[in-house]
Amino acid sequence: MNKIENQKAWFFVIPVLALVAFNALIPLMTVVNYSVQETFGDNTFFWAGVMWFEQVLLSERFHAALGRQMLFTFSILLIEIPLGVLIALTMPKKGPWVPVCLILMALPLLIPWNVVGAMWNIFALPDIGLLGRTLNAIGFDYNFTRQVGDAWFTMILMDVWHWTSLVVLLAYAGLVSIPDAYYQAAKIDGAKPLAIFRYIQLPKMKSVLTIAILLRFMDSFMIYTEPFVLTGGGPGNSTTLLSIDLVKIALGQFDLGPAAAMSLIYFLIILLMSWIFYTVMMRNEAK
């Protein structure tokens, strides 16, 4: 008996495709248009070809901002992924404290990004902030508005506070999905906690940890609001990440051509590195 294909489902997909085209494709094509043209005002454009791409790729300013972005992203990944897994392992799997722990973990994720930056800006001020005054009181010369190391420490600490919860919740979801039979078998065999983690818990968390790493990589590589509100890219340009530098070029200097080219290069870097992350981790999981 031949199946009768029903194409009416496309009527439900068309509005989604139209919305994606309006919100993504049209702005993207506008950026592409600006990236290959030069304008001197009065909406008069001249063909520039790949000139802006060459200018960005050869710019020391772009290389410095990209280096700071890479340093920030890999720093928070090295901290948040192990820390999130460790916290998830200590959370109760049953009982009345489960919802309490889950709510407490979810609270930082509910705070808007600009509020997080403003909170930590006040919290870390060396004169009136609780963190700043405490560190200075115990002997540290702390001032994130003037010292590069303190600015980086505060920015990374802020991101760890804000986003480690996401890793915790994903890792916890992987842990609670493990059947009790695995733990009972490990108990019978006399397996130690480290062996249980290595051979039972970690393999079962690989899928959710892959998602966590990809999400945190993409989010941290595109981060803008929190560090901008916290440090404004300072002191000097020491915390001017790629996103902050892009906004400065586009809105501060109003160089639309270089900004458009830089945003496309930015997009391709994120896309390429996300694909590399995903490919490598999927191959390891297959093995």
> Residues of the chain whose pLDDT is less than 50?
none
What's the pLDDT at 48?
82
Q: Would you state the pLDDT for residue 241?
A: 94
Q: Read off the pLDDT of residues 89-120 as tens digits, 9 standing for 90 and up.
A: 999 988 889 999 999 999 999 999 889 999 99
Give residue 193's pLDDT: 87
Q: Is residue 21 part of a domain?
A: no
Write down the pLDDT at residue 89: 93
Q: Does the residue 43 lie in any domain? A: no
Give the C-alpha distances (Å, rounded to integers) separating 234 from 93, 143, 200, 237, 240.
43, 12, 45, 5, 7
Distance CA(45)–CA(20), nearest Å, equals 28
Domain annotation covers residue 12: no
Count of C-beta atoms within a 10 Å radius of residue 34: 22
Whether residue 70 is contained in a domain is answered as: yes
Buried b (16+ CB within 10 A) or exposed e, 12-30: eeeeeeeeeeeeeeeeeee
For residue 139, is it within any domain?
Answer: yes
Give the model's pLDDT for residue 227. Answer: 93
Q: DSSP per residue over 121-147, as a string?
A: HHHT-TTT-HHHHHHHHTT----TTT-
User: Which residues contact residue 163 at a Cβ distance below 8 angstroms, ignoring those fewer than 6 apart?
Assistant: 76, 80, 108, 109, 216, 219, 220
Q: How many residues are there in the chain?
A: 287
Q: What is the pLDDT of residue 245?
A: 94
User: Would 76 be classed as within a structural domain?
Assistant: yes
Q: In the chain, how many domains are there?
A: 1
pLDDT of 285 reads: 65
> Residue 164's domain spans which residues?
60-286
pLDDT at 282: 75
Residue 117 lies in a domain: yes
| CATH classification of the domain holding 230 | 1.10.3720.10
Report how far Cα 191 is from the mean position of its chain's Cα atoms: 36
Residue 166 lies in a domain: yes
